[in-house]
Structure 1
Amino acid sequence: MITIQYNKKTIQEDERERTTTYLTINGVADEDSFYLAGDPPSAHFYNSEIINILTSHTFEEISKSFSKFTFPREVNWWDDSLDIKVYCNHYFKQEIPCTTIELRLNDWEHWAKPWSMSSLAKEFETNIARLGNERISYWQEDDETVLNGFGIEYKVPSSTALIRQEIDTLLPILKTIIDETNKRLLESLDSEVVLTYFQFPEEIKTACKQYLVYFTQFIADMGIKVDTELKEELNHTLFKIIPANKEESLERIKEALTIYLNAPNAHNFQAQISNQTDIAAKQWEANFYHLKSQLSLATSIIQAKDSTIEMLQLSNYQYKQLLESHSLKKESEEEEDVIPGIVSLNSYEGQGFKINLAEIFRRLKRGF
């Protein structure tokens, strides 16, 4: 049960004064809230304590007080804020119970993305359709323009559902749609490069980015010259690989990146690479141990917060749809003697791909 107090305050605007209504819910005041009386009544809130109170109720319970209430939500996977709208009772033509999440474009006057806002909205709508979920659909405030707001609409299965539970179910789905939208928009910019995206936890981002920077030297030691670009884009780490030779196969570069990201997970990789003598392998080893030490430190810090991360699983943070696992060609020679008669290397097999460590170390040479 909730109790509501309606409070008046005077706001000075230029040389005029106006009176507005703000609400107190269960004794908690939100002076930044505003209330729109009438039929149907609605309210917008900013106070997190009040938002928690309201969302801990069902749609049916809140419908006794509001037909609709809204509140902003900050997330780390969208540049601007989200505006969450909860419809509990009849609200014009809106089906109820229902939730919409608007993707705010607060800085549209200074839009600097390499695609238009309408292209963003169109790709977003296309990816919602790909879900094939009849309860989830594209939402746009004004049919004529996306500037007045667009987002996702979710038809709640029951008015007795808890509001918070339904929102918590919808947000990960929205994140997936946004990630796929961003990925496809970036991919459309240049077909002659390899683009891949990561979403590293903050505690390990620096170490992982340093490991990615070394990929330029690693692939050069494999006989392929590329330029790379690493930057933060759309709340993700974008890794761009540009072949020096336009005739170079992008598939070969993708395979090399797959090897580079997954080889450190191979069984006994540390022991195997330590037996190499070529400077190229020794530099890869040095970068591997630097990454490992940084991740070990980060793991300790995160575990102190009752969380965990997996060591060296860079590919866990990568969009699988873009850099798919490649079945690498089986080489005619499956083993190589590192120390003749004593140590030999076999291929490492992972999910959907096979890494031939022996072939890697044969090719990994540094010329002077």
Structure 2
Amino acid sequence: MNLKFEKVDNRIYDYVAYLDNIEIGEADDNVGEPNSEFLIFFNDRIFEVSEKYNIADFFKEDICDFSLPLNFEQFANLNWINKELSYLSFEIEGKIIFQLIPDFVKWDKPYNIITFAEKLKLILLAHDFSVDFKQDNNFLEHGFQISCNFNFDQNINEEYERFLSVIDKEVKNIFENPTLVDINSIANKYSFPQEIRQACEQYLIYFSKFLEDYGIEISSALESRNGDTLFTVKPKNSNEALSNIRDLLDFYLSLPDLQNLEIITKDYNDVSIQQLLSNIYHLKSQLILAHSIIESKNTTIESLKFSNFQKQIYIESNLKNEEKTLDGLVTIQEFEYGSFKFNLPEIFRRLKRKFNK
């Protein structure tokens, strides 16, 4: 790759970037020192000139990230954003970052921008896209950000079009179907190994009964997309805080990893807890079976922990809340799971199965 940077004056940035002797944009020194990594702001010529190179070729050069111009004719459903302030960049860590600053003068939808961003966040989950924003005064200045991982082996144009095509399509879907996504719901996506998918999905389905026993009524839906499982939960009572349901879902998913669960729950005789244990045992038995199958193929079992496929989360005890069981021989305490702290005794105390006549 013949990529060069030429120092210039009277430009917005300090350098002009050339690829194969064709000007492809301007560049800035990342830290203001010689031989440091460059930030490149490509012009439209990059799409033509870069076709024979993959993204990895660019990051082998002295580049930390680069920004690309947005084609609002090709992606017409994005024409409501502020074209001067919004940008799309590829970062060396392997992420595409799309910062969208809304043009509030152009916004003419029956719902506000934040509601739209929440809808988009839910619908893009199935594509492995993240939508981040803060619901405060900074939203007016910073808008929201959409990101996903890119493939280093593809060329710039391929990943650029893949990323923006997904967003453009889903924005269009929301505009044309205002009720398509209910923001008063929680949606999570899981990538279960094939050997345990059915057992894990069955465990997810039981979450509705777990919440009913806890005193919260919900409706839930399970959908398979491209080998992934999309699980959606919506409270039947609109006054029920989604944050409470989200915390309880995290607690529920942590239970299969909880040590000595049989001893902890021994003095809780309600049928709701017994059925919960039954579902946990079934899940664990399927994990053991899958362990044997996969080990016979000389593959790893590390990813088979239901509650965590990305990284190990350690459970730590906390002495602020506790309850005695087994005549005082065992103490149930609060515990931490990732960034969450659960009041384990109180949760088990609240689980009650109600029977209708």
Q: TM-score, normalised by structure 1?
A: 0.49
Return the alpha-carbon distance in structure 1 between the equivalents of residues 307 and 87 of structure 2: 26
* Residue aligning to 2:270: 278
The Cα of 1:341 is off from its aligned counterpart by 2.3
* Residue aligning to 1:361: 348
The Cα of 1:168 is off from its aligned counterpart by 9.2
Match of 1:129 among 88, 92, 101: 88
Aligned pairs (5 A) from 1:1-368: 93-95=48-50, 98-99=53-54, 129=88, 131-133=90-92, 167=153, 189-310=181-302, 313-317=305-309, 334-368=321-355
Q: Secondary structure at the match of 1:315?
A: coil
Q: Secondary structure at the match of 2:352?
A: coil
The Cα of 1:303 is off from its aligned counterpart by 1.3
Structure 1 gaps, min length 5? 1-90, 102-116, 139-164, 320-324
Return the alpha-carbon distance in structure 1 between the equivalents of residues 251 and 326 of structure 2: 23
Contact kept in structure 2, 1:231 and 1:238, CA below 8 Å: yes
Contact kept in structure 2, 1:264 and 1:270, CA below 8 Å: no
Distance 1:261 1:128, change over 3 A: farther
Q: Secondary structure at the match of 1:245?
A: coil
Which amino acid is 1:345 matched to? I
Return the alpha-carbon distance in structure 2 between the equivalents of residues 350 and 137 of structure 1: 30
Distance 1:226 1:92, change over 3 A: closer
Q: Secondary structure at the match of 1:203?
A: helix
The Cα of 1:118 is off from its aligned counterpart by 6.8
Paired residues in the alignment total: 223
Which amino acid is 1:240 matched to? T
Deviations 1:206-256 (A, max 9, x none): 010010010000011111110111111344211011111111110111011
Question: Is the radius of gyration larger for structure 1 or structure 2?
Answer: 1
Distance 1:268 1:92, change over 3 A: closer
The Cα of 1:335 is off from its aligned counterpart by 1.0
Distance 1:98 1:250, change over 3 A: same
The Cα of 1:363 is off from its aligned counterpart by 1.1
Q: Quote the sequence identity (%).
A: 34
The Cα of 1:287 is off from its aligned counterpart by 0.3
Contact kept in structure 2, 1:265 and 1:312, CA below 8 Å: no
Deviations 1:133-171 (A, max 9, x none): 499879xxxxxxxxxxxxxxxxxxxxxxxxxx963999x
Return the alpha-carbon distance in structure 1 between the equivalents of residues 304 and 265 of structure 2: 16
Which amino acid is 1:195 matched to? A
Q: Secondary structure at the match of 2:274?
A: helix
The Cα of 1:97 is off from its aligned counterpart by 5.0
Return the alpha-carbon distance in structure 1 between the equivalents of residues 277 and 94 of structure 2: 50
Q: Secondary structure at the match of 1:277?
A: coil
Which amino acid is 2:223 matched to? K
The Cα of 1:265 is off from its aligned counterpart by 1.5
Contact kept in structure 1, 2:266 and 2:326, CA below 8 Å: no
Distance 1:135 1:305, change over 3 A: closer
Which amino acid is 1:339 matched to? L
The Cα of 1:94 is off from its aligned counterpart by 2.1
The Cα of 1:263 is off from its aligned counterpart by 2.5
Return the alpha-carbon distance in structure 2 between the equivalents of residues 167 and 345 of structure 1: 51
CA RMSD in angstroms comes to 4.8
Q: Secondary structure at the match of 2:219?
A: strand
Contact kept in structure 2, 1:128 and 1:137, CA below 8 Å: no
Q: Secondary structure at the match of 1:362?
A: helix
